Each structure stands twice: as C-alpha cells, then as structure tokens.
Structure 1
Amino acid sequence: MINNSLNYQINDHKSALKNFAMNFTQNIDDADDLVQETMLKAIRYSKLYQEGTNLKGWLYTIMRNTFINDYRRTVKQRSIIDTTEEVNSAQLMKSATLNEANNKFISDDVNKALAQLSYEYYTPFIKYFEGYKYHEIADMLNIPIGTVKTRIHVARQSLKSNLKMYNQEFKKSNKIN
C-alpha cells in the first residue's frame, strides 16, 4: 500500500505531468487521461520507487512508457491490409521469390548481429523481444529493473549500428514510393 507522503508528492507533480502529457498528446482530454493513467501506475507500483531518488523523473518515465505502449497498441489496431489492389499470379510468384531471398539475407544478418551481443545484453533483449515486461525480466534474471532497461538499450544500439545498412535501404525505398 502506498504511504500518504508519497501519495501527496505524486499529486504535487500533477500540473507538471499535465504539461509533459500535452507534449505527447497535443490534446487536453488525452493529456488528462495520460496523467490519470500515469498517477494510477505510480500508485500501483509505488513499492518500486526508491525513496530519495528523482520522483519527477520516475513519473515522467512512467508517462513516457505508457504513452509509447498506448501508441504501439493503437497503431496495431489501426493497421489494416488493403486487399483492393488486384495482383496477378506472376507478380505474386516474383514477389514471393524476391522476398524469400531477401528475408534469408536479412535473417542471417540479424542472427549475426545478435550473436555479437554478450550474454548479459543478449538475454534481457531477447526476453523483452519475446514480450516480457521489464519487471518480469528483472525478476527472472535477479537484477535491478534499471539494469534491465540499460542492457536492452545498449543491445538495441548495438543492433542498430550493426544493421544500419537496412535502415538506409528502408529510407531509400520509402523515398521512391
């Protein structure tokens, strides 16, 4: 259960949280919802807050992660495959053949990049990729949640660096289309 002192401290940051939420949502109602959800999560996970650390930063992190997760969820819900364009069987065969070959090369490169990660970075990243939450990974590996976040971040940066050629190709292909 949350202590009253922390509850008051969280409530004291409500206006700053609302300003921060407006930067994300650009909408008053959505910002209010985001602030409310952030405060509820802060209360729910208050035992994870370490007294004497930056409460405002902790709240901002909760808000940012909540916004990102909600955004991802919304994007997935809105993604619809357009089946109105007719495609003949010759186009499908050519496309499937090219995709299979490209995917094989990409898959090999991704596996090589993953193999270059040390165990301490590989394991949390793979667990996160499999859908585990930060706190679940921390519990599994018996390490602090901050360490989990850092290791996942470092793994992402390493993979991004090792696979930057695909990012450049992706940018080029999107400019053409």
Structure 2
Amino acid sequence: MNNSQFNQMIEQHRSMLNAFALKFTGDIEDANDLIQDTMVKALRFSESFESGTNIKGWLYTILRNTFINEFRRNAKRQSVVTQQEEISSAHLLQTATRNGAEGSFAMRDINLALKNLPDAYSVPFIRYFEGYRYHEIAEELDIPLGTVKTRIHEARKLLQKQLQMYKAKKFN
C-alpha cells in the first residue's frame, strides 16, 4: 500500500477520531490539534501498520497515547508554574538580589556545561529534560531505546562532573 492509499484510508476515520479527541480534550481547537498530531504520527509510522488489521483501533491507540503524553508534559510544566506561584512575595523580596546573582552564575555554568556535551549526549538529555519519554526520543532521533537511556545517563554523569562545585553548596 502506497502513502496516498494509506492517507485515504486513515482520512476515512477522521470523524471517529474527532469524537474521541473531543471527548478527551473537551475543546474543539485542542481536539483538532490532537487529531492533526495523530494523523502525522500515523503517516510517519505507516510502515508499522499491518494491512488487514484494525485500522480504527490502531488510530485510536495513537490518539490516546498522544493525548496522554501531551497531558503528562503539560502536567510537569503546570507543576513548575504552580510551585513558582506559591512562593511568597515577601520571601522573594528578601532573597531576590542574592539569588539573582547566584542564579545567573549557576545558569551560565549550566549552559556552558550543556554546550560542552557532545551532541550525541546533549540532544537526548535536553529532550528528556523537556518532558519527552525515552521511547519518544528514540523515535525522533531514530536510535535504539537503550542508546537513548545510555546517552542520557552519560550526559548526567558528565554534567555532574562539570557542575560538582554546586553539589556541596546550598542556596539558602
């Protein structure tokens, strides 16, 4: 089956996907984004679909997993935002100057340490830090899952070594 035939086949199930996406997201725009992401992934991984099997089930699984992964990413981001909003303004005023200076030095050192990592380590590490799961990174970079895990582990070790001066220091 060529790409155009496969595209026509999955397009026939768009309305079914639309109903599920709307049920998941509760918002028409978010549902449309979810369907678009699902269709892109279906086309990208069309070679893994076995002809004669349940295309609806396959598409639904992609849609559901895409929604869950995006939900997890957003939950991580929300958690950081919520924790930052809970910091009292009095505490911020008291420590802003000192933390700002120390923070800028630390961020400069972290960015420098990340730049010193080989691309083979830094790209998977940054993707993982952004909230992507190991298998998503492996798919995106087209490398084995074990390689992704190893490279992230090695990146952590290298960063620890380069940033060990901050390990003993506590920012109070």
TM-score between both structures, scaled by the size of structure 2: 0.50
TM-score between both structures, scaled by the size of structure 1: 0.48
